[in-house]
Amino acid sequence: MPFRTALSGLNAASSELRIIGNNVANAATTGFKESRAEFSDIFATSNLGVAANAIGTGVRVSSVSQQFTQGNIGFTDNNLDLSISGQGFFIMNDNGVNVYTRAGALGVDRDGYVVNNQQQQLTIFQADANGNITGATGPLQLDRSDIAPAATTTIDVQANLDASASVPTAAFSPNDASSYNNSTSLTVFDSLGSPHLNTMYFRKTGDNAWDVYQYVDGVQVNAGAPAGDSITFDSTGAIVSGSPTSISFTPSGGATAMNVTIDFRNTSQYGSPFSVNALVQDGFATGRLSGIDISDTGVITSRFTNGQSRTLGQVAIATFNNPQGLRQLGDTSWAETFDSGAPLVGEPGNGSAGLIESGALEGSNVDLTEELVNMITAQRNFQANAQVITTADTITQTIINIR
């Protein structure tokens, strides 16, 4: 009787409709991968092989296969939202067990760890104190405490002094603009991060010769005070003596005494107006975390309110030889299995892992139009198998009614 055969067809069509329904329901789920029903026929066999006149006995669902094609990338306003353009997976730590996901909607928990909605921690390659990426993996934790300040130790002066300037006749005084030719200022920092205004006064003393007077918070701090430091240039405008020099002072407020090297090697004397191209000093005040930047290769950089930045690590990406062998765990995450093979952990942009897009999320790869067409096909298959049962019932009834 064909009842059981048709019943297997009804079950297969019903299973396909359930799979299609799950795909449609998750059409807006971040990182979701659609599934596909794969069928195989049921065929009666014997120990001696298949009979020449054997008839199949129906169909069964042989596999529900996930399709790991790329979903569309949509941009967000959260720098911690991450997407992958490639075949890789984010590695999330779930209480010591690694799970894998394409859903990069991330945030920060109360302890500063970067986590997803299931409180699973993002795994990264850690960085050392100097910002060098190491091979060790671990969770990404953001430190919201103040970072220690650094005292200024060097100042690089990149300026041009006007060779055609006149020699001032008045005795030097920072309060008399006619007693010097030019001045410029920058902020330096002591060991406690307190700012101090350092002002440099340039006074021409003769052809190719200048005196530099250094004042910090209105007090002269030249090592050669009160005469100032002398710098000289050759006939081509290049500096020949007087660099580097230094200033020394003890800040108020209990900070450590400072000795700052002043480098004039990038200062010139040409026949053009005075100009300052750059004043670079290496100190900074204390600061707090103000933002996170993640590059396309997964390098994570923290930005602070004092203008400093630090490398925290690099996002770790896992790839598999057979992604379809991964076991679904729900919440758009998977676990490795024997069929998937062991994960290959590397950096974004390596091999087929793909690149990272910060401030973006990968949408579901479900094609609604295709799913609706598949739904119609599954519905027709269901109706056709139901018709087989109806026809078989009619035939059976006819046989029973034979007199």
Query: H-type helices in 184-274, by residue range?
Result: none
Instruction: Note if the bond before 244 is cis, omega within 30 degrees.
Output: yes
CB neighbours of 377 closer than 8 A, spacing ≥ 6? none
Does some domain include residue 343? yes
Does some domain include residue 27? yes
What pLDDT shows up at residue 364?
94
Last residue of a domain, one of 281, 310, 340: 281
Last residue of a domain, one of 281, 308, 324: 281
Residues 384 and 339 occupy one common structural domain: no
What pLDDT shows up at residue 307?
87
- Report how far residue 349's alpha carbon sits from residue 316's, in angstroms, rounded to the nearest whole number: 11
Residues 98 and 180 occupy one common structural domain: no
CA atoms within 13 A on the CB side of 356: 28
Does some domain include residue 148? no
Residues 112 and 97 occupy one common structural domain: yes
Query: What six digits make up the tokens of 160?
Result: 């041009």
Last residue of a domain, one of 281, 303, 331: 281
Does some domain include residue 198? yes
Residues 293 and 306 occupy one common structural domain: yes
The low-confidence residues of the chain, meaning pLDDT below 50, are: none
What pLDDT shows up at residue 223?
62
Helices 368-400 + 3-25 axis angle, to 10: 160
Domain that residue 115 falls in: 73-139+289-362
Does some domain include residue 146? no
Does some domain include residue 355? yes
CB neighbours of 315 closer than 8 A, spacing ≥ 6? 82, 90, 122, 124, 125, 294, 298, 300, 347, 348, 356
Question: Which pTM was predicted?
Answer: 0.79
Residues 160 and 265 occupy one common structural domain: yes
Residues 12 and 122 occupy one common structural domain: no
Residues 198 and 258 occupy one common structural domain: yes
What pLDDT shows up at residue 107?
93
What pLDDT shows up at residue 332?
92
Element (H, E) at 81: none
Does some domain include residue 147? no
Shortest CA distance to 66 belongs to which of 28, 100, 37?
37
Residues 350 and 372 occupy one common structural domain: no
Residues 91 and 65 occupy one common structural domain: no
Residues 264 and 206 occupy one common structural domain: yes
Residues 164 and 235 occupy one common structural domain: yes
Residues 200 and 252 occupy one common structural domain: yes
Q: How many domains does the chain have?
A: 3
Does some domain include residue 145? no
- Report how far residue 350's alpha carbon sits from residue 92's, in angstroms, rounded to the nearest whole number: 19
- Report how far residue 157's alpha carbon sits from residue 267's, in angstroms, rounded to the nearest whole number: 6
